[in-house]
């Protein structure tokens, strides 16, 4: 079965896909949207996120926006190649255009376009504000839509639903392969529906907005490694993101970009069925693995800037699990419950030995770990839970840099923690119009990537930029695809 009555085909129905589809429609295109999930679960990761944006106001991104991206832009690229980045794109050597590093022009474009995307979303009735966080304090500025990502999906989805003459949404439909014409331009996409029924969508413009590969165990094992068996998507929406967009683009020659071996990591309670059940109070206690041993500095800096690295270290433990351990002094930290989104009660005991048994960790190691830690906490004066206080351990490896106080006053509590996968970093390279770049440094005519399919992150996630990035790149792709639909050739 073939369909050829669409100007633009969008794969995915999260913030990137809906932004792309609606922007294309606003510019005169008739749009098909392919969505793996059923209608009541559409939206991918966006449906479940709080959708914070790294902005200082509705008119500007945070002061550290471009600096944070520059600090995590792709390792140590060859300066002999990168020096030509000052040239206009058309004059750059092909090897630079295809280089697996984030194009600073793209980051600058996202910074410029984010306020426009926010105002565009407000046109659908969405309100933005500086909302409560699950951090007691933060190292940057964040704002978000009231109602979170679900509010975005419901507002944009309602717009699509009300215009069947412009949009047709194919739910429970997964994209499989891109179709190219004899000249290497996009000619459509093959997809599969329920009962393995095949359908081909033919058209000159395809926008890949189907998320990363956090829901694909095979790709995770290949790119992240064997410890990937201990991680899971942070939300139900992530299970629908199986990497087809990335795979399809790479299979037609797209240049890779982003850190394929990494992902945005969050520490969560593995017992919880809550959405994003983060445990972010650990900096006030200690972390031990299931052998009862510490393995990291629990407080290298502000939690909102360091939790991702800590979560990856939890993944690296022998069984991918750790425990955040506290005594009764946790209750001296005002409002600490906002830092735990799991509604499952912590493991509790009146003594450390009883706690070890309840956690099912090696009791001898655990008690020795606690004794060594408590002896290394030399002072408690100056404890300040809202900023890095320099209250560190002495003579302990690994040291605890801040908020180090003895854990000695029962009752004692512990939360189990695993590393969850919000979204993967590996994707394909795009330009500032969201056009996909191939391995030769040229654009693939008619192919666009938005959101997680487009790789821009290395090592550490630049927090509160994911949904923002999806909205901006979706709008860039949709606008360009709509203009291209009537272009010659």
Q: Are residues 360 and 437 in the same domain?
A: no
Distance CA 389, CA 384 (A): 6
**Could you tell me the pLDDT band of residue 135, with boundaries at 50, 70 and 90?**
low
Q: Are residues 24 and 143 in the same domain?
A: yes
- Taking only the tens place, the pLDDT of each residue in 161-201 is 999 999 999 999 999 999 999 999 999 999 999 999 999 99
411 preceded by cis ω (within 30°)? yes
Q: Are residues 176 and 70 in the same domain?
A: yes
State the residue range of the domain holding 96.
2-262+425-484
Q: Are residues 448 and 322 in the same domain?
A: no
Question: pLDDT at residue 141 above 90?
Answer: no
Domain edge (last residue) among 420, 439, 459 = 420
Largest CA distance in the chain: 76
- Taking only the tens place, the pLDDT of each residue in 43-57 is 999 999 989 999 999
Which range is most confident: 83-92, 186-195, 372-381, 480-489? Answer: 186-195
Instruction: Quote the pTM value.
Output: 0.94
Contact 400, 189 (CB under 8 A): no
Distance CA 285, CA 131 (A): 26
Q: Are residues 102 and 174 in the same domain?
A: yes
**Could you tell me the pLDDT band of residue 10, with boundaries at 50, 70 and 90?**
very high
Question: pLDDT at residue 102 above 90?
Answer: no
- Taking only the tens place, the pLDDT of each residue in 116-125 is 999 999 999 9
- The answer to whether residue 471 is domain-embedded is yes
* Least confident piece of the model among 78-82, 153-157, 172-176, 225-229: 78-82
- The answer to whether residue 489 is domain-embedded is no
Domain at 299, CATH number: 3.90.700.10
Domain at 135, CATH number: 3.50.50.60
Distance CA 15, CA 258 (A): 20
Query: 186 or 70: which carries more pLDDT confidence?
Result: 186
Question: Residue 489: its pLDDT value, please?
Answer: 59
Question: pLDDT at residue 134 above 70?
Answer: no
177 preceded by cis ω (within 30°)? no
Q: Are residues 104 and 136 in the same domain?
A: yes
| Bridge partner list, 278 | 268
Q: Are residues 252 and 288 in the same domain?
A: no
**Could you tell me the pLDDT band of residue 381, with boundaries at 50, 70 and 90?**
confident
Question: pLDDT at residue 72 above 80?
Answer: no
How many of the other CB atoms lie within 10 Å of CB of 397?
A: 9
- Classify the phi-psi angles of 141: left when phi > 0, otherwise alpha if psi is within -120 to 50, otherwise beta: beta
**Could you tell me the pLDDT band of residue 138, with boundaries at 50, 70 and 90?**
low
- The answer to whether residue 438 is domain-embedded is yes
Q: Are residues 328 and 387 in the same domain?
A: yes
In this prediction, residues 17-22 reach a mean pLDDT of 98
Cβ neighbors of 79 (< 8 A, separation 6 or more) are none
In this prediction, residues 250-259 reach a mean pLDDT of 97
- The answer to whether residue 161 is domain-embedded is yes
From 368, 341, 338, select the one nearest 353 (Cα to Cα). 368
**Could you tell me the pLDDT band of residue 394, with boundaries at 50, 70 and 90?**
very high
| Bridge partner list, 413 | 326, 348
Please report how the helices 148-161 and 15-26 are oriented relative to each other, as an axis angle in degrees rounded to 10. Answer: 40
Q: Going by DSSP bridges, is the β-strand pair 256-257/347-349 parallel, antiparallel, or unpaired?
A: unpaired
Question: pLDDT at residue 137 above 70?
Answer: no
Q: How many domains does the chain fold into?
A: 2
Main-chain phi, psi angles of 232, to 5 degrees: -150, 160
Q: What does the block give as tokens for 229?
A: 């068996």
Distance CA 220, CA 87 (A): 37
Main-chain phi, psi angles of 176, to 5 degrees: -120, -50
Domain edge (last residue) among 420, 445, 469 = 420
Q: Are residues 305 and 253 in the same domain?
A: no
**Could you tell me the pLDDT band of residue 282, with boundaries at 50, 70 and 90?**
very high
Domain edge (last residue) among 392, 420, 448 = 420
Question: pLDDT at residue 376 above 90?
Answer: yes
Q: Are residues 71 and 127 in the same domain?
A: yes
């Amino acid at each position: 079965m073939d369909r050829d009555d669409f100007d633009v085909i969008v794969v995915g129905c999260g913030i990137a896909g809906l932004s792309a589809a609606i922007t294309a429609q606003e510019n005169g295109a008739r749009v098909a949207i392919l969505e793996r999930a059923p209608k009541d679960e559409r939206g991918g990761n966006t449906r479940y996120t709080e959708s914070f944006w790294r902005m200082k106001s509705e008119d500007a991104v945070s002061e550290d926006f471009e600096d944070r991206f520059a600090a995590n832009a792709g390792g140590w690229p060859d300066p002999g190649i990168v020096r030509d980045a000052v040239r206009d794109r058309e004059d750059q050597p092909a090897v630079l255009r295809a280089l697996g590093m984030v194009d600073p022009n793209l980051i600058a474009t996202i910074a410029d376009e984010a306020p426009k995307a926010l105002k565009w979303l407000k046109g659908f009735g969405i309100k933005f504000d500086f909302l409560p966080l699950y951090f007691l304090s933060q190292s940057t500025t964040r704002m978000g839509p009231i109602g979170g990502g679900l509010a975005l999906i419901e507002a944009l989805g309602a717009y699509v639903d009300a215009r069947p003459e412009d949009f047709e949404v194919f739910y429970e439909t997964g994209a499989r392969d891109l179709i190219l014409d004899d000249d290497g331009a996009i000619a459509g996409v093959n997809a599969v529906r329920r009962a393995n029924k095949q359908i081909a969508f033919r058209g000159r413009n395809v926008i890949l907005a189907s998320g990363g590969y956090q829901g694909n165990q095979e790709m995770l094992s290949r790119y992240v490694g064997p410890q990937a068996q201990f991680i899971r998507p942070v939300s139900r929406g992530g299970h629908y993101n199986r990497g087809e967009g990335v795979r399809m683009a790479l299979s037609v020659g797209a240049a890779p970009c982003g850190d394929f071996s990494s992902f945005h990591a969050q520490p969560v309670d593995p017992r919880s069925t809550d959405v994003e059940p983060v445990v972010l109070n650990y900096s006030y206690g200690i972390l031990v693995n299931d052998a009862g041993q510490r393995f990291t500095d629990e407080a290298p800096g502000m939690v909102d800037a360091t939790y991702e690295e800590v979560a990856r270290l939890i993944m690296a433990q022998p069984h991918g699990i750790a425990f955040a351990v506290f005594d009764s002094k946790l209750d001296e930290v005002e409002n600490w419950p906002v830092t735990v989104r799991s509604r499952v009660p912590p493991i509790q005991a009146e003594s450390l030995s009883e706690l070890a048994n309840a956690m099912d960790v090696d009791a001898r190691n655990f008690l020795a770990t606690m004794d060594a830690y408590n002896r290394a906490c030399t002072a408690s004066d100056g404890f300040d839970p809202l900023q890095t206080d320099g209250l560190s351990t002495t003579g302990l490896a690994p040291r605890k840099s801040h908020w180090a106080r003895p854990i000695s006053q029962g009752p004692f509590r512990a939360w189990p923690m695993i590393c969850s996968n919000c979204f993967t970093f590996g994707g394909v390279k795009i330009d500032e119009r969201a056009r996909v770049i191939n391995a030769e440094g040229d654009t693939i005519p008619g192919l666009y990537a938005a959101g997680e399919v487009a790789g821009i992150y290395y090592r550490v996630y630049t927090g509160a930029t994911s949904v923002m990035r999806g909205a901006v790149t979706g709008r860039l792709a949709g606008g360009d695809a709509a203009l291209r639909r009537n272009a010659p050739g």
